[in-house]
């Protein structure tokens, strides 16, 4: 067998490449210096560049010097420290996991820190800054361990993103529930979660600086061992490297750096994802950048550029009095969302997100038994939901109400409670049907309206209307939600169409659109007045509060049409869900059928979001459980999934209204808590099936 070798480059070329790498590093340093100077010259006060120079040289008056020293310099320094810490953490996580999407965001490190700090805040305990950093470190490390354990090291980008996003949603839902239940103890925690580098003096920066330095020193010490892991586990062991100890040490150091950034400025989204990606692009030209030591240090510089650049761009494009209220993390999240979409559309399809469900054949008796059981459960949930709440009623009260003979108190309770119960049941059924259609068309058992960004787009459209036109009625809200869902779905499916809706591309683009929608929603909530912000937050938690029977009419009509179409076109759904060739051989127009089913799924999702707000995981859990119970034939899957969705959301709504009455939790928070473990279990199951 002939062996070909590549001659080493001539010394001049090697020197030029080395000089080029040094030049790139120098450019990054100069860019940071320029951004730092611009950053400290921006602000709401009348202190401009001239006054800043005087303050730095000791020639300014006391007021101008106070603005520069107590506010602007600490803000700039915090941006440098946070960007560097997140860049290093992302580079370390990507190197040790051999996954280009590993970052504090995608590994749920930020969500774990947010949850742990929220849990401590809810108890009323006030912690100093270093203790808060320790709490954030423990929460972030635990979350990263769970995600890496579920996704597997080097197992593919999509599985890691799905596991991280699911855990992030579950932890964030629990934390938001704590914010609603303990508003006084957790005051300011939501604004902190958006990520802002604003500081009041150098105290926080000076306390966090030693932790960041310790994290950097630790990564530089283990860099050679991390480089050895890139050769493969067996080769690394042959070189005397302890693979397990190296991975654990690197993840711990990355979690320490992430906790440092989170404690100082809150979660600054996607810097840890984007900064190492920029360095990877440079590594294609300058090989020295591919080594861990170079990658970590250059990622630190790039992260600082991203954070400071986002802060400078925000205050340059937005009026200064408005820019003060806009968190830097919102801007970096938007940048990260764009990066995720670009990576999905330009990258290769690196493995399937999940294998398709196995073909199960169930008897008619099994189907009738399951359907009958679910109908009985639906009746029981409906009756219990009507009777239970902050005021408990009897069946006789309900009977008198239906006949118009109930008292004033009972009439008031049922007039407000019955529409809420029906809203939960209808929304659950609609989301389940939408998930069934999306999973059939994409042939991806892990797809659902929330994961695909459709629910996020609908939520964004509705929040835009809620925050700009609070007096808008249910019809306007439904129209705004549908417009947002249509726009989001158009982006997702349009960008994913190349290559035939491959699972990785579809999921990653959907995640990017969902991230951008969440960032824009946070921006609207932060900028709006307090009343509308509270209204939007309550609505986003999946609340049925304040719904009336006329509000439910559009959803009921869309659901009825959707069920009728799905059952009438059940054979087409079965064919489309099999593969891409069988429907064509049988004369079915696959693109047209896909478009029709996807449009119907978008309409169902938008109608449900307009009525109940964001409710997660129903579109994933219900269809998957239905196929497991009655097989893959959609003539059976559709009714069973609809019933399951109605029962799930109805139960969540009832529990949210009764368990901690008179306080209430939105149904969306509880479905996220229920759906997250199921989703993570499903990832484990599909991972075993893929093996």
* Segment 274-298, tens digit of pLDDT: 888 888 877 777 766 678 888 888 8
Does 42 reside within a domain? Answer: no
Residue 658: pLDDT over 70: yes
Does 83 reside within a domain? Answer: yes
Q: Which long-range contacts (CB under 8 A, 24 or more apart) does 624-630 make?
A: 624/357, 624/439, 624/445, 624/682, 626/432, 626/436, 627/357, 627/360, 627/445, 628/357, 628/360, 629/362, 629/366, 629/370, 630/362, 630/366, 630/367, 630/370, 630/371
Please give the structure tokens belonging to residue 478: 């439904």
449 and 331 within one domain? no
Indicate the residue among 346, 368, 399 that finishes a domain: 346
Cβ atoms within 10 A of the Cβ of 142, count? Answer: 18
Asked if residue 276 lies in contact with residue 305, where contact means CB atoms within 8 angstroms, the answer is no
Closest CA to 97 of 49, 164, 45, 48: 164
pLDDT greater at residue 70 or residue 204: 204
105 and 210 within one domain? yes
Q: Which pLDDT score, from 0 to 100, does residue 432 have?
A: 93
Task: pLDDT band for 57, please (50, 70, 90 cuts).
Answer: low
Cβ atoms within 10 A of the Cβ of 189, count? Answer: 20
pLDDT greater at residue 196 or residue 365: 365
Asked if residue 616 lies in contact with residue 668, where contact means CB atoms within 8 angstroms, the answer is yes
Query: How does DSSP classify residue 394?
Result: -
Phi-psi region of 362 (alpha: psi -120 to 50; beta: other; left: phi over 0): beta
Place of tokens 């965001």: 105
Looking up residue 240, the CATH number of its domain turns out to be 1.10.3470.10
Q: State the total domains in the chain.
A: 2
Q: Please provide the average confidence, as pLDDT, over all residues in the chain.
A: 78
Can you give 630-679 as a three-state secondary structure string?
Answer: HCCCHHHHHHHHHHHHHHHHHHHHHHHHHCCCCCCCCHHHHHHHHHHHHH
Indicate the residue among 346, 366, 392 that finishes a domain: 346
Residue 514's contacts (CB-CB under 8 Å, 6 or more residues apart) are 165, 450, 451, 452, 453, 455, 456
Task: pLDDT band for 53, please (50, 70, 90 cuts).
Answer: low
Q: Which pLDDT score, from 0 to 100, does residue 612 have?
A: 84
Task: pLDDT band for 13, please (50, 70, 90 cuts).
Answer: very low
Does 184 reside within a domain? Answer: yes
Query: What backbone torsions phi and psi does residue 577 show, to the nearest 5 degrees?
Result: -80, -10
484 and 611 within one domain? yes
Place of tokens 């354990």: 149
Closest CA to 486 of 522, 521, 513, 466: 513
Asked if residue 504 lies in contact with residue 353, where contact means CB atoms within 8 angstroms, the answer is yes
Residue 382's alpha-carbon distances to 48, 122, 418, 625, 655, in angstroms, are 64, 33, 9, 21, 12
Phi-psi region of 359 (alpha: psi -120 to 50; beta: other; left: phi over 0): beta
Task: pLDDT band for 7, please (50, 70, 90 cuts).
Answer: very low
Task: pLDDT band for 459, please (50, 70, 90 cuts).
Answer: confident
Taking the C-alpha atoms of residue 222 and residue 254, their distance in angstroms, rounded to an integer, is 12
Residue 355: pLDDT over 60: no
Residue 181: pLDDT over 90: no
Residue-level length of the chain: 691
Q: Which pLDDT score, from 0 to 100, does residue 61 have?
A: 62
Q: Which pLDDT score, from 0 to 100, does residue 8 have?
A: 41
Could you give the count of Cα atoms lying within 13 Å of 205 in the half-sphere of its Cβ? 21
Residue 561's contacts (CB-CB under 8 Å, 6 or more residues apart) are none
Residue 582: pLDDT over 90: no
pLDDT greater at residue 646 or residue 46: 646
233 and 129 within one domain? yes
Indicate the residue among 327, 346, 365 that finishes a domain: 346
pLDDT greater at residue 13 or residue 545: 545
339 and 445 within one domain? no
Task: pLDDT band for 16, please (50, 70, 90 cuts).
Answer: very low
Q: What is the CA radius of gyration of the chain?
A: 27
Asked if residue 85 lies in contact with residue 49, where contact means CB atoms within 8 angstroms, the answer is no
Task: pLDDT band for 58, please (50, 70, 90 cuts).
Answer: low
Q: Which pLDDT score, from 0 to 100, does residue 373 have?
A: 93
342 and 466 within one domain? no
Q: Which structural domain, as residue segments, surrounds residue 166?
A: 71-346
Residue 59: pLDDT over 70: no
Taking the C-alpha atoms of residue 484 and residue 464, their distance in angstroms, rounded to an integer, is 9
Taking the C-alpha atoms of residue 615 and residue 638, their distance in angstroms, rounded to an integer, is 19
Does 50 reside within a domain? Answer: no
Helix (H, G, I), strand (E, B) or coil at 183: coil
Taking the C-alpha atoms of residue 19 and residue 36, their distance in angstroms, rounded to an integer, is 26
Does 43 reside within a domain? Answer: no
Q: Which pLDDT score, from 0 to 100, does residue 14 have?
A: 41
Helix (H, G, I), strand (E, B) or coil at 360: coil
Please give the structure tokens belonging to residue 185: 């103890």
456 and 337 within one domain? no
Residue 245: pLDDT over 80: yes
Please give the structure tokens belonging to residue 403: 């006949």
Does 313 reside within a domain? Answer: yes
Phi-psi region of 95 (alpha: psi -120 to 50; beta: other; left: phi over 0): alpha
Residue 380: pLDDT over 90: yes
522 and 608 within one domain? yes
447 and 325 within one domain? no
Does 238 reside within a domain? Answer: yes
Encode pLDDT of 490-514 as tens digits.
888 778 766 555 556 777 788 788 8
Q: Which range, of 107-121, 157-171, 405-419, 610-624, averages the lowest pLDDT?
A: 157-171
pLDDT greater at residue 496 or residue 688: 496
433 and 339 within one domain? no
Q: Which pLDDT score, from 0 to 100, does residue 631 have?
A: 84
Please state at what angle helix 474-496 crosses helix 503-527, rounded to 10 degrees: 140
Q: Which pLDDT score, from 0 to 100, does residue 453 have?
A: 80
315 and 187 within one domain? yes
Closest CA to 312 of 297, 298, 331: 331
Does 312 reside within a domain? Answer: yes
Residue 456: pLDDT over 80: yes
What is the mean pLDDT of the segment spanning 619-628?
Answer: 85
Q: Which pLDDT score, from 0 to 100, does residue 118 have?
A: 84
Closest CA to 667 of 272, 381, 261, 356: 381
214 and 84 within one domain? yes
């Amino acid at each position: 067998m002939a062996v070909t070798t590549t001659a080493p480059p001539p010394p001049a070329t090697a020197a030029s490449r080395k000089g080029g790498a040094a030049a790139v590093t120098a450019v990054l340093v100069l860019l940071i210096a320029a951004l730092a100077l611009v950053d400290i010259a921006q602000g709401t006060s009348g202190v401009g560049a001239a006054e800043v120079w005087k303050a730095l040289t000791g020639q300014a008056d006391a007021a101008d010097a106070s603005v520069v020293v107590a506010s602007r310099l600490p803000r700039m320094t915090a941006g440098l420290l946070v960007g560097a810490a997140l860049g290093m953490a992302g580079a370390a996580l990507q190197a040790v996991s051999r996954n280009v999407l590993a970052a504090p965001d995608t590994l749920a490190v930020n969500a774990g820190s947010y949850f742990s700090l929220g849990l401590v805040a809810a108890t009323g305990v006030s912690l100093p800054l270093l203790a808060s950093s320790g709490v954030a470190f423990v929460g972030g490390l635990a979350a990263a361990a769970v995600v890496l354990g579920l996704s597997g090291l080097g197992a593919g980008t999509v599985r890691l993103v799905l596991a991280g996003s699911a855990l992030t949603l579950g932890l964030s839902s629990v934390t938001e529930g704590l914010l609603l239940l303990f508003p006084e103890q957790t005051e300011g925690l939501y604004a902190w979660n958006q990520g802002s580098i604003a500081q009041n003096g150098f105290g926080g920066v000076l306390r966090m600086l030693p932790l960041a330095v310790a994290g950097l020193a630790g990564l530089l010490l283990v860099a050679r061992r991390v480089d050895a892991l890139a050769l493969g586990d067996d080769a690394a062991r042959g070189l005397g490297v302890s693979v397990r100890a190296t991975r654990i040490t690197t993840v711990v150091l990355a979690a320490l750096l992430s906790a440092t950034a989170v404690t100082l400025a809150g979660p600054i989204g996607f810097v840890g994802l984007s900064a190492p990606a920029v360095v990877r692009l440079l590594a294609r030209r300058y090989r020295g950048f591919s080594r861990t030591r170079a990658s970590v240090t250059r990622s630190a510089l790039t992260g600082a550029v991203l954070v400071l650049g986002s802060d400078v761009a925000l205050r340059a494009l937005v009026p200064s009095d408005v820019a003060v209220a806009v968190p830097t993390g919102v801007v970096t999240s938007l940048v990260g969302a764009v990066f995720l979409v670009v990576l999905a559309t330009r990258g290769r399809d690196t493995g399937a997100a999940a294998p398709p469900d196995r073909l199960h054949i169930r008897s008619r008796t099994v189907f009738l038994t399951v359907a009958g059981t679910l109908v009985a459960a639906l009746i029981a949930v409906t009756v219990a939901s009507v009777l239970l709440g902050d005021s408990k009623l009897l069946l006789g009260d309900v009977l008198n109400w239906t006949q118009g003979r109930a008292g004033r108190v009972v009439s008031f309770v049922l007039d407000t409670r019955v529409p809420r119960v029906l809203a939960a049941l209808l929304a659950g059924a609609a989301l389940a049907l939408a998930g069934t259609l999306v999973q059939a068309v994409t042939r991806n058992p892990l797809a659902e309206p929330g994961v695909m960004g459709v629910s996020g787009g609908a939520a964004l459209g509705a929040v835009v209307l809620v925050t700009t036109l609070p007096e808008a009625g249910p019809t306007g809200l439904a129209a705004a939600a549908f417009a947002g869902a249509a726009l989001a779905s158009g982006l997702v499916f349009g960008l994913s169409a190349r290559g035939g809706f491959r699972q990785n591309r579809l999921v990653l683009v959907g995640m990017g659109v969902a991230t951008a929608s969440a960032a824009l929603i946070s921006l609207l909530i932060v900028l709006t007045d307090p009343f509308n912000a509270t209204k939007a937050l309550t609505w986003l938690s999946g609340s049925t509060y304040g719904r009336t029977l006329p509000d439910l009419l559009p959803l009921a009509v869309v659901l009825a049409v959707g069920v009728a179409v799905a059952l009438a076109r059940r054979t087409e759904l079965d064919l489309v869900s099999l593969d891409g060739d069988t429907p064509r051989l049988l004369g079915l127009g696959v693109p047209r059928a896909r478009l029709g089913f996807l449009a119907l799924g978008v309409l169902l999702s938008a109608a449900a979001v307009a009525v109940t707000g964001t409710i997660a995981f129903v579109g994933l859990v219900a269809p998957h459980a239905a196929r497991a119970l009655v097989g893959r034939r959609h003539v059976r899957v559709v009714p069973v999934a609809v019933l399951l969705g109605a029962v799930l959301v109805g139960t969540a709504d009832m529990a949210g209204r009764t368990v901690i009455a008179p306080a209430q939790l939105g149904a969306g928070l509880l479905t996220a808590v229920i759906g997250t473990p199921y989703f993570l279990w499903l990832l484990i199951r599909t991972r075993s099936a893929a093996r």
